[in-house]
Structure 1
Amino acid sequence: MACRIGELVLGCRDPELLARFWCEVLDFVVLDRGDGYVEVGPREGWGGSQPTLFFSRRDEPEPGKTRLHIDVNATDRDQAAELERLLALGARPADIGQSGAESWHVLADPEGNVFCLLKDRIKPI
């Protein structure tokens, strides 16, 4: 038997801000919130076909560079249209040393966490 990812946990300064952003990006909903955290995920809830995102308040960033980042693919539009949508939601271009010839876009969420918008579309769940 294998494991699967149930949730991805991200320490951040403003869990509510990131929850709103990622709910819009992924068409997720708030599943739970409490003092210092917000968990978002697919409408079917935790344990479904996709992992949830758990934003946990941290006043100080943890030392070192975050090693995990999220890659997203558009489901109902091309990459250029999805890039426009993400930028309108508050994402911003990020430079991590890419050459400019990549087929993906490197972006940062409202707190500066890097994620990538990949070229290929995938089927919605």
Structure 2
Amino acid sequence: MTAARILAVAVDCHQPDLLAEFWAAAIGNGKTRTWTDSHGTVYRQVDFEDGPALLFQPVPEDKAGKNRLHLDLAPVERDQRAEVERLVMLGAKVLDDPADDPWVVLADPEGNEFCVLPPR
């Protein structure tokens, strides 16, 4: 029996619109929507056909240090190098490309780290 399921991964950020558009394009099959909580905070959310949503919530603080949680992506329609190039064209930045490991570390437009692995 499943005790719970992940509905969304929340990301603190300065520019929810920018990150929602980046991640919707990066993953591909997402639909973005905007909603407001009872305190007037406006969120951007990307809902996907499969898997949890990505929720971008505005915060005043800057990102400090390495993420404690990050996403690992695997391309569906291209090889790893082509996927990294596509993500860079969308606004990501390559942070590390270790020769001895199968992943490439990138950062989204606000500096949140994520990895791209070979196709599965």
- Worse-matched range after superposition: 104-113 or 60-69: 60-69
Segments of 5+ residues of structure 2 without an aligned counterpart are none
Q: Quick check: 1:13–1:58 contact (8 Å CA) kept in 2? A: yes
| Alpha-carbon distance in structure 1 between the residues aligned to 2:84 and 2:64 | 30
Cα 1:77/1:6, change in 2 over 3 Å: same
Q: State the TM-score, normalized to the length of structure 2.
A: 0.84
Q: Percent identity?
A: 42
Aligned residue number for residue 16 of structure 1: 17
Among 44, 48, 60, the alignment partner of 1:38 is 44
The answer on 1:70 being equivalent to 2:76 is no
Q: When the two structures are superposed, what TM-score results if normalisation uses the length of structure 1?
A: 0.81
Aligned residues between the structures: 114
Question: Which is further off, 9-18 or 99-108?
Answer: 99-108
Q: How far has the Cα of 1:62 moved from its partner?
A: 6.3
Aligned-residue offset at 1:6:
1.1
The 2-side partners of 1:120 and 1:75 are apart by 6
**What are the ranges of 5 or more consecutive residues in structure 1 without an aligned counterpart?**
none
The alignment yields a C-alpha RMSD, in angstroms, of: 1.8
Find the counterpart in structure 1 of residue 110 from structure 2. Answer: 111
